[in-house]
Amino acid sequence: MKIVYIAISLFLFTFSISKAQQASLTIGLGKPLTSHSATDAAGSPYLTNNFQNSEVTTPGGHTLPNVPLRYNVYDQTIECMINNQVYDVTDSVMRFSYTDSVMQVNIFFKQIGKTIYYKLLVKGNYSLLKIHQAEIASDEDWYTKKVTKKYVIKSGYLLFDGSKAIPIGTSKKSFMAAFNNSSVVKEQFDKETPDLKDESSLINFFKELK
């Protein structure tokens, strides 16, 4: 497989940097896309079908604006569109963010050694994260026996303490276990009784945590 170096330059990205910076900043080893997604499945493996102009942080800590990306939650890969060609740049993206059509800023990051990207919903001493994953479900028509496949995107929520991400579950017991049964968290939980299956309720709860 031929490795394609995707250099950061003026004709690829719309920002000005010195020649010395151009030599040092790359979006990594852009590889020709080899998706494992099923082409015969209905629906989409992408969190957003369109490429989003994103701000990217590379493993080296460089920040790059206006990078057209989309997130394949089935393969857990990040794709980049350059000159109408799509490349896999997952290895070069530690963090990315974009503003969606309702002006909401969406922030995603991954930890070193991990393959999944976390969406940051609330940042604090106790941060709330969300993960997206896709699987392919099959349905068989009882009459024709025809099997159809479709993508099903699932999500889950996690507590992030700055070093590790812990699933919080949808029961009070599993939720409190993620917080190591903190008496402070329990007091607030009993006071607010958040709906653990509702994202807005979780966000409000985490925002109130000190």
Band of residue 56 on the pLDDT scale cut at 50, 70, 90: very high
| Number of domains observed in the structure of the chain | 1
Q: Please say if the pLDDT value at position 31 is more than 80.
A: no
91 domain-assigned: yes
137 domain-assigned: no
111 domain-assigned: yes
Band of residue 32 on the pLDDT scale cut at 50, 70, 90: low
Q: What is the mean pLDDT of residues 119-130?
A: 95
State the amino acid at position 173 in one-letter form: K
Condensed to tens digits (0 to 9), the pLDDT of residues 180-210 reads 999 999 999 999 999 999 999 999 999 998 6
DSSP string, 86-126: EEE-GGG-SEEEEE-TTS-EEEEE--TT--SPEEEEE-SSS
Domain span at residue 78? 4-117
104 domain-assigned: yes
Mean pLDDT of all residues in the chain? 82
Q: What is the mean pLDDT of residues 79-84?
A: 86
CA–CA separation, 187 and 180 (whole Å):
13
Q: What angle do CA 151, 1, 55 make, to 5 degrees?
A: 60
178 domain-assigned: no
CA–CA separation, 151 and 199 (whole Å):
22
Q: What is the mean pLDDT of residues 140-155?
A: 88
Tell me which of 13 and 54 has the higher pLDDT. 54
Condensed to tens digits (0 to 9), the pLDDT of residues 100-113 reads 988 999 999 998 77
Percent of the chain predicted with pLDDT > 90: 60
132 domain-assigned: no
51 domain-assigned: yes
pLDDT of residue 3: 41
Q: What is the mean pLDDT of residues 2-15?
A: 36
Q: Please say if the pLDDT value at position 128 is more than 90.
A: yes
pLDDT of residue 134: 92
Q: Please say if the pLDDT value at position 34 is more than 80.
A: no
pLDDT of residue 13: 36
60 domain-assigned: yes
